[in-house]
Amino acid sequence: MLLCDIGNTSLHFYDDEKGEYKESVVAFDPSTFLEKVYYISVNAKLSKELKNLDNWIDLAPLIQRNKYYETMGIDRIFAVEATSHGVIVDAGSAVTVDVVRDGVYEGGFISPGKHAMQKCYSDISPALEYPFNFELNQKNLAKNSQDAISYGYLKLLASEICSYDLPIILTGGDAEEFAQLFFDARVNKRVLFEGMQKIIEQVLEI
């Protein structure tokens, strides 16, 4: 079975046999695919094109949207669908945090991603232009500028995530780096594809 997560710049595929791979949106021609492809998309232009191809199956309409809020990203929803009890932290250009407890979605929040936050501090003052210290001692308040911004970003985020007392699942491009903030967290880069598989099994009964 071929799954695809379509973004604005790249397509992220998952194949039972070949595993994961990415393709650029620029070079992509959907008509070259003859097999069925189950997809989710945040790319409006490509979505329109795919509607005319019978073997490209959009999974978004299979979701019970009333469990989520209207403007919630479809990628975030599928990562949540994969989880019955835990906090899903997707660390990319933004850090999205979503809480599922005993099968019920409780809500979430959004922090800026690592790169956006670093730019934010350095735009305020060149004196705050440091890389974040992911090995920060979270027990002590900061006594130097690098730790002061690292604490302001990472420690506050980690405290909030730990406060739910739930298993922590990290996904997204910066998952490994953020995993250093937690005593016990699982990195799972395929959580979104697991959500897609679950919906395909439950709703399409495949």
Give the residue numbers marked as catalytic: 75
**Smaller CB separation from its own copies, 156 or 203:** 156
Residue 27: partners with Cβ closer than 8 Å, 6 or more residues away:
none
Residue 34, Cβ neighbours under 10 Å: how many? 7
Using CB under 8 A as the criterion, which residues of the chain lie in contact with its own copies when the complex forms?
69-72, 93-95, 97, 99, 106-113, 116-117, 119-121, 123-125, 127-128, 140-145, 147-149, 151-153, 155-157, 159-160, 163
Coil vs helix vs strand at 16:
coil
Rank residues 111 and 197 by Cβ distance to its own copies and give the closer one.
111
Tell me how far, at minimum, the Cβ of 125 lies from its own copies, in Å. 7
Alpha-carbon distance of 15 to 82, in angstroms, equals 17
> Minimum Å distance from CB 123 to its own copies?
6
Instruction: Burial-class residue 75 by CB neighbours within 10 Å (0-12, 13-18, 19+).
Output: buried
How long, in residues, is the chain? Answer: 206
Work out the number of other CB atoms within 10 angstroms of the CB of residue 185.
21
Amino acid of residue 8: N
Comparison of 95 and 168: residue with beta carbon closer to its own copies? 95
Nearer Cβ to its own copies (2/128): 128
* Shortest spacing between CB 55 and its own copies, in angstroms: 30
In angstroms, what is the minimal distance from the CB of 161 to its own copies?
A: 10
